[in-house]
Structure 1
Amino acid sequence: MEKVKVRLRPIVSNINLPVVIKTAILPGESVETLFIATQVGEIFYVGNGRMNTFLDIRSQIIKLGVAGGKYDERGLLGLAFHPRFSYNGLFYLHYSVAGTQGPGAFSTSGDGRDALPKFFSPDPCNPETLNLKWTNRETNFDHVDTVEEWTLQSTGQPQKRRTLLNIRRPFFNHNGVNSLNFSPETGKLVLTTGDGGSGYDPFHLSQDDMEIAGKIIEMDVNQQVFTMNPPVVTRFHELPEPIQRTLSVMAKGVRNIPGISYQRSYHNQFIKYVGQVGQDLVESIFSFVHYQPIPVTQLVQAYLMNAQQHNEGFINLGWRGWEGIFPTTLINDCSTNSSIEKKTIAYYDDAIKTLVKRLQPLTSYFHEDPRPGKFSGSALTGVQSYMGNSIPQLTGSVVFTDFALEDSTPPVSGTLAYTKVRADGQFNDYSIIDTQYNYGSESSFYVSLGSNMNQTRLFLGVYGSNSVNDYNKGTVFEIVP
């Protein structure tokens, strides 16, 4: 594929970290409005050539930059507008709740009760590190995430309508980002959750059918289930049955995921694109058309009866046994020769169990790649389908962003790239998109990627720092020819 050249047109500058960028039609209007949600809890919209505040919930967001240091993956993580938002004013939020800071997750091992480090790595020579359990979850957790339904009142003021889910998270990271999107196929709200955080999914949550962590979940928000204060849970069977009936699981084996993008295909079908943030080696983009969502009530019934669930059509991204196209691998220096790296399969049994069941990536890019025309990435931060004609080389492709080039010297910069689905459905390579933009002496971390409603326009969120405590360093660009 050819290297595409584009320009970046600044739309908004000097804002906080932009995590969600999308458009919607406001009630009473006929044209789309651009909305920008920031990690600290602000939602802006751009109208009449200026930026306006739509909603400010900063006081309801957990204090950022504490558990993870200057870098943090909590905050306002998801914003989605109901398909009939212009008529009913309904929209949805996913955020980390103020006042819920906990001590972090603990596990049991041979030595008893141990606190896990912020970024855990297993030791293949110590079996106890391969089968850890998250214990005393009610007290040993990092924070609580909530998913809420809001309504835009006739006065123009947003108001919370109900809480859909309260999820207890073991660590500060891997909570998902751009985590709420509506499916044009089913009309359901899709929640993408990470595996709970730390490193290497230490509690093996992503493959466990009962765990909410590490899943792509469809939520039927048109079922009017009003539970005033849903319990704070980590597993599906802990939810009240009325809430269980609104949920189905699309996929598991998720490590961390920057949302889901739908691309209209033939016969009114849609290609679904999801990105998997890697551990040490590789970042991956997956695509699928057909899937069989499994009702949570069915999963819970199988669990309570201790029956084997036969998940025909269940999408499995393979984590933690697989990191994209590779078995999940630890890289260590050989003790006899420090210049040689020893590679060990971290979870061999998990890799074997998911070998056949897992979905193969559409494309991958690597943390080290010496090939001409490629780049060494660090973390996938956005995946969006592009169906516009203004940049014809990209029409019908999936565009993705990487946070920052690996091991680059300051000022660091993120990267844009793209790929396409091959007719034979096989693995495809990718190509870099040259933004031709000079950021000057300041770093430019690529933190988000968004589109308008029919995917004919693309928007890029850039931040001048990797610290959530460095404020007002954000810029939102439109990607133009």
Structure 2
Amino acid sequence: MIKVKVSLRPLVTKINLPTVLKTTILPGDSIERLFIATQVGEIFYTGNGAIRTFLDIRSRIIKLGTSEPGVSGRGYDERGLVGLAFHPEFYYNGLFYLHYSVAGTQGPGALSEHFKPNPCDPRTLNLRWINRETQYDHIDTVEEWILQRKSQPQKRRTLLNLRRPFFNHNGVNSLNFSPETGKLVLTTGDGGAGYDPFNLSQDDMEIAGKIIEIDVSKNTFIYNPPAVTRFNELPVPIQETLTVIAKGVRNIPGISFQKLYNQYIKYVGNVGQDLVESIFSFVHYKPIPVTQLIQASSRNTEPDQEGFINLGWRGWEGAIPTSFKRGCSANPTVEEKTIAYYDEAIKTSVRRLQPLTSYFHKDPRPDKFGGTALTGVQAYMGTGIPDLTGSVVFTDIARDKESQQPVRGVLAYTRVRADCKLNDFSVIETDYNFGSGSAYYVNLGTNMEQTKLYLGAYGSMNVTDFNRGTVFEVIS
């Protein structure tokens, strides 16, 4: 693939960790402005060389950086404000949507100790999430808000309240509107802890580990629904607003739609476990109404899944069976990779969608990189960077720590092959001088026409290290 070099032009500096970067036009305005949501609960927008506050919900956000045994006190967290989407008619109706972790909902978590599957111990392969009303980490909410002229944004209603088992894998950039259906697309991670201990992502009744469409045009007349974990626990009017596009999700940094003639290519990334990060693409799909999933479950039958997308997790990590690593005592420089869920890999082997491309945590090839975690996937349709036109650009939070100090994230790109087979990828070189500090690439965004790319970088992995963020425009 063509080697591409870009420059990074700083737009905003010294902000908190950015989780969403997207543009819209404010009601009564004429300029498309960049909106930046931060993990701690601020939403800013830019214009005329200034940055202004659009909304501040920090008081509504759970206290960050203080959960999870072994992580507590270190400041790393995956909760907070993780989703922002503007209604397609936002300019006229002022509606926008938020996904965040709710203050005051901290629980003990679903497991008391670190989880790792053991193929020799079937108990570790068949865990069940029990006592869900008390054994959970926090509650995430999806809300509808409205901006009315000459007034502050106001919350209108809550669409979903989701009880989450662990602190991580809540999605990021988790809300986006589909230009095909006009529905709000919610991407939910598998709930966290690594290796999906309860196999929530493949269970049709579990809300975790799915890509879900929400028909926000339907008024359920339920303005504060109960906190749930399964579709069949939802009130029927809310069930009737939901369809499921995909399952087998580990954690997704959003969904990107690329128009091609009269149809759209959908791109989603699935964050990997120990070995590989993957990006998937699909055009045609057949979403399943949640009411049908519930009916099939109550009859103990399987719904028609023709055209339904399955990313393969937890049996598959991208294009390879999910494995865990352990050191080789005879040779400490080598690791043994053992298939974690053999039976599940077999069951989902023909049902799963093959990735468009994958990249690995260890890669000996000189023109590649060892990654850590996928943090953004965006289609690029602009002409300002001609070699990237029509491609899908993605970012990893940090190159393999053994290969580079100080820490640097990485940009890369790939394309859909005409024969739909797994494609290679190429690193995008950048010329920005970050100095001696770390630069984790935490988010990737575009404008409305996908002709511009925006990159969020942070100087720390800890959300409690404040004001270390920079938002760049990626330019030729």
Q: TM-score, normalised by structure 2?
A: 0.97
Instruction: Provide the residue aligned with 2:28 in structure 1.
Output: 28
CA contact (8 A) 2:138 2:167 kept: yes
Q: Does 1:317 align with 2:349?
A: no
One-letter amino acid of the structure 2 residue matched with residue 71 of structure 1: Y
After the TM superposition, which residues 175-254 of structure 1 pair with which residues of structure 2 at under 5 Å, given as runs? 175-254=170-249
Which of 83, 87, 112 is the matching residue for 2:88? Answer: 83
Structure 1 residue 336, shift from structure 2 partner: 4.8
Q: For the structure 1 residues 345 and 18, does the alpha-carbon distance in structure 2 shift closer, same or farther, using more than 3 Å as the test?
A: same
Which of 425, 428, 441 is the matching residue for 1:430? Answer: 425
What CA distance in whole angstroms lies between the structure 2 residues aligned with 1:116 and 1:204? 17
Instruction: Provide the residue aligned with 1:357 in structure 2.
Output: 351
Structure 1 residue 335, shift from structure 2 partner: 4.4
CA contact (8 A) 1:105 1:116 kept: no
Instruction: Provide the residue aligned with 1:110 in structure 2.
Output: none
One-letter amino acid of the structure 2 residue matched with residue 353 of structure 1: K
Q: For the structure 1 residues 339 and 30, does the alpha-carbon distance in structure 2 shift closer, same or farther, using more than 3 Å as the test?
A: closer
CA contact (8 A) 2:159 2:223 kept: no
After the TM superposition, which residues 293-332 of structure 1 pair with which residues of structure 2 at under 5 Å, given as runs? 293-332=287-326
Q: Does 1:127 align with 2:132?
A: no
CA contact (8 A) 2:85 2:98 kept: yes
One-letter amino acid of the structure 2 residue matched with residue 43 of structure 1: I
SS at match of 1:385: strand
Instruction: Provide the residue aligned with 1:467 in structure 2.
Output: 462
Structure 1 residue 338, shift from structure 2 partner: 4.1
One-letter amino acid of the structure 2 residue matched with residue 329 of structure 1: S
CA contact (8 A) 1:6 1:479 kept: yes
CA contact (8 A) 1:162 1:226 kept: no
Structure 1 residue 30, shift from structure 2 partner: 2.4
Structure 1 residue 125, shift from structure 2 partner: 1.4
One-letter amino acid of the structure 1 residue matched with residue 473 of structure 2: E
**What percent identity do the matched residue pairs reach?**
72
SS at match of 2:200: coil
Q: Does 1:95 align with 2:100?
A: yes
What CA distance in whole angstroms lies between the structure 2 residues aligned with 1:250 and 1:263? 17
What CA distance in whole angstroms lies between the structure 2 residues aligned with 1:333 and 1:207? 30
What CA distance in whole angstroms lies between the structure 2 residues aligned with 1:307 and 1:466? 44
Q: Flag structure 1 segments of 5+ consecutive residues without an equivalent.
A: 107-114
What CA distance in whole angstroms lies between the structure 1 residues aligned with 2:455 and 2:337? 36
One-letter amino acid of the structure 2 residue matched with residue 73 of structure 1: E
After the TM superposition, which residues 81-160 of structure 1 pair with which residues of structure 2 at under 5 Å, given as runs? 81-106=86-111, 115-117=112-114, 120-160=115-155
Structure 1 residue 47, shift from structure 2 partner: 1.5
Structure 1 residue 334, shift from structure 2 partner: 3.4
Q: Does 1:257 align with 2:252?
A: yes
What CA distance in whole angstroms lies between the structure 2 residues aligned with 1:339 and 1:433? 30
Q: Give per-residue Cα distances to partners, 1:26-49, cap 9 Å, x unaligned.
A: 001222111000000000000221
Which of 268, 277, 283 is the matching residue for 1:274? Answer: 268
Instruction: Provide the residue aligned with 1:476 in structure 2.
Output: 471
SS at match of 1:35: strand
CA contact (8 A) 1:73 1:175 kept: yes
One-letter amino acid of the structure 1 residue matched with residue 28 of structure 2: G
Q: Flag structure 2 segments of 5+ consecutive residues without an equivalent.
A: none
Q: For the structure 1 residues 339 and 476, does the alpha-carbon distance in structure 2 shift closer, same or farther, using more than 3 Å as the test?
A: closer
SS at match of 1:331: strand
After the TM superposition, which residues 166-181 of structure 1 pair with which residues of structure 2 at under 5 Å, given as runs? 166-181=161-176
Query: CA RMSD, aligned part only?
Result: 1.0
Structure 1 residue 341, shift from structure 2 partner: 2.6
Instruction: Provide the residue aligned with 1:73 in structure 2.
Output: 78
Structure 1 residue 219, shift from structure 2 partner: 0.3
CA contact (8 A) 1:10 1:478 kept: yes
CA contact (8 A) 1:18 1:447 kept: yes
One-letter amino acid of the structure 2 residue matched with residue 234 of structure 1: T
Q: For the structure 1 residues 473 and 340, does the alpha-carbon distance in structure 2 shift closer, same or farther, using more than 3 Å as the test?
A: closer
What CA distance in whole angstroms lies between the structure 2 residues aligned with 1:84 and 1:340? 55
What CA distance in whole angstroms lies between the structure 2 residues aligned with 1:308 and 1:138? 28
Structure 1 residue 240, shift from structure 2 partner: 0.3
CA contact (8 A) 1:6 1:480 kept: yes
What CA distance in whole angstroms lies between the structure 2 residues aligned with 1:376 and 1:95? 31
Q: Give per-residue Cα distances to partners, 1:154-198, cap 9 Å, x unaligned.
A: 223100000000000000000000000000000000000000000
CA contact (8 A) 2:270 2:278 kept: yes
One-letter amino acid of the structure 2 residue matched with residue 224 of structure 1: N
Q: Does 1:38 align with 2:33?
A: no
Structure 1 residue 337, shift from structure 2 partner: 4.7
Q: Give per-residue Cα distances to partners, 1:273-331, cap 9 Å, x unaligned.
A: 00010000000000000000000000011111222222111100000000001100112
One-letter amino acid of the structure 1 residue matched with residue 113 of structure 2: L
What CA distance in whole angstroms lies between the structure 1 residues aligned with 2:345 and 2:301? 23
What CA distance in whole angstroms lies between the structure 1 residues aligned with 2:144 and 2:21? 19
Instruction: Provide the residue aligned with 2:378 in structure 1.
Output: 384
Structure 1 residue 343, shift from structure 2 partner: 2.0
Q: For the structure 1 residues 337 and 414, does the alpha-carbon distance in structure 2 shift closer, same or farther, using more than 3 Å as the test?
A: closer
One-letter amino acid of the structure 2 residue matched with residue 105 of structure 1: A
One-letter amino acid of the structure 2 residue matched with residue 116 of structure 1: E
Q: Does 1:395 align with 2:386?
A: no
Structure 1 residue 339, shift from structure 2 partner: 4.5
SS at match of 1:135: coil
Which of 390, 394, 401 is the matching residue for 1:407? Answer: 401
SS at match of 2:359: strand
